[in-house]
């Protein structure tokens, strides 16, 4: 005979265990599922085709590189196309990447960040279909959307289809001024805000719809969308998207801190905590926190203020949930550092930095610098962005896949 208290305990425990299992199953069923992870949705489409893949270290199925997974499933991968930093992400920011043979698979790797940015006719003629599967971070100055456009251009010119395995955008908000096309560059090719609020697949639809390919061509695209995703969800990246975005904090802070690449302020390149700290030697005595950039192969060989002590802010303990929920670029740090910097005429001197470019190219206009030097408030600066942002948001609605 079972004791009544013991019997009730067993029943309660069983109910608890069952409810826990159900909750886990429910959470799993509602979890974000990337396009790449939905192998059953596109594997039959790739069977018996010669496949080209635009991929890097973020291109995973589960925890395994998608190239390896698809090869093991019998997909004929003829060539790999590597973006900035290369297929295995072992090249520094801005470094030219050469063509090579992948030592692990024997597949030719064609660099799209070396002698060319766009696959050649011969490259595309050698395949039946192109697959694009790269994690983006939602910023105009992160070069993956440029690579996307170049690949779409090559596919449209050669009548090849592009299969996009979509991934969430960890910075899926819309903020910053619209790029003035007078400042078009390698870190800004499209008339969009600094953070565009779209996934790669949504952006591809915008490229087609707005006629941004040459001669207003359209690329034939097929999309495997992300399941259980919307733009308000907080998404933690399973793989670092580039050598200098090596933590979730750096990914979330990147839209705000990358603007400092157009200044004399270091964002931590040359440390193992890039895009989570800010500082400069000239700020000694104004800040207690310090760091020293050094040359780090594969991350930053010639960082700004190399081997000099930089004084400034440590942002590693910022509340990432709050930053994500705010849905805006933080301008207060830029305003604070401009006010604190002793030699104002040197603040926007980015000539020592080998990373990006002038503030005009990063922010997208020549007004921001004037606004900052004139001492305008964040609210005043933001008000000047509103007409362009309102127009962009309306245009964007035509291309979004997710709520």
pLDDT in tens, 183-202: 999 999 999 999 999 999 99
What Cα–Cα distance (Å) separates residue 368 from each residue in 165, 178, 301?
Answer: 36, 12, 30
Output the six-digit token pair for 171: 């910075």
What Cα–Cα distance (Å) separates residue 362 from each residue in 167, 198, 324, 358, 385?
Answer: 24, 19, 21, 7, 15
CATH code at 39-224: 3.40.50.12170
Output the six-digit token pair for 327: 């849905």
pLDDT score at 354? 55
Flag whether the pTM goes above 0.85. yes
pLDDT score at 24? 36
Q: What percent of the chain has pLDDT over 70?
A: 89
pLDDT score at 102? 87
- Nearest-CA neighbor of 161 among 120, 128, 200? 128
Flag residues of the chain having pLDDT under 50: 1-29, 91-92
Start-end of CATH 3.40.50.12170 domains in the chain: 39-224
Using only C-alpha atoms, the chain has a radius of gyration, in whole angstroms, of 23
pLDDT score at 205? 98
């Amino acid at each position: 005979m079972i004791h009544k208290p013991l019997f009730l305990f067993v029943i309660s425990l069983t109910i608890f265990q069952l409810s826990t299992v159900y909750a886990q199953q429910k959470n799993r069923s509602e979890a974000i599922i990337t396009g790449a992870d939905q192998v059953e949705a596109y594997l039959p489409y790739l069977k018996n085709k010669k496949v080209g893949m635009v991929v890097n270290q973020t291109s995973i199925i589960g925890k395994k590189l998608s190239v390896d997974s698809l090869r093991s499933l019998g997909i004929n991968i003829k060539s790999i196309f590597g973006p900035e930093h290369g297929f295995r992400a072992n090249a520094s920011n801005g470094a030219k990447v050469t063509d090579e043979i992948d030592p692990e698979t024997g597949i030719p790797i064609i660099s799209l960040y070396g002698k060319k940015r766009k696959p050649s006719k011969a490259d595309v003629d050698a395949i039946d279909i192109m697959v694009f599967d790269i994690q983006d971070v939602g910023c105009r100055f992160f070069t993956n959307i440029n690579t996307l456009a170049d690949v779409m251009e090559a596919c449209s010119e050669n009548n090849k289809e592009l299969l996009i395995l979509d991934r969430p955008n960890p910075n899926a908000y819309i903020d910053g001024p619209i790029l003035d096309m007078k400042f078009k560059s390698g870190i800004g090719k499209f008339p969009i805000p600094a953070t565009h609020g779209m996934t790669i697949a949504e952006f591809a639809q915008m490229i087609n719809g707005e006629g941004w390919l040459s001669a207003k061509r359209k690329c034939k695209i097929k999309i495997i969308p992300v399941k259980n995703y919307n733009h308000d969800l907080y998404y933690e990246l399973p793989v670092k998207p580039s050598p200098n975005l090596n933590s979730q904090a750096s990914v979330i802070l990147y839209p705000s801190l990358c603007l400092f690449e157009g200044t004399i302020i270091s964002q931590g390149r040359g440390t193992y905590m890039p895009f989570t700290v800010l500082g400069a030697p000239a700020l000694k005595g104004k800040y207690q926190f310090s760091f020293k950039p050094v040359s780090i192969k594969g991350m930053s060989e010639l960082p700004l203020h190399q081997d000099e002590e930089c004084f400034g802010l440590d942002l590693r303990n910022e509340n990432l949930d709050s930053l994500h929920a705010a849905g805006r670029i933080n301008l207060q740090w830029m305003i604070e550092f401009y006010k604190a910097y002793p030699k104002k005429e040197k603040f926007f001197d980015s000539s020592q930095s080998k990373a990006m470019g002038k503030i005009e190219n990063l922010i997208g206009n020549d007004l921001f610098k004037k606004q900052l030097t004139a001492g305008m408030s964040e609210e005043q600066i933001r008000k000047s962005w509103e007409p362009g942002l309102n127009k962009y948001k309306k245009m964007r609605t035509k291309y979004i896949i997710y709520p």
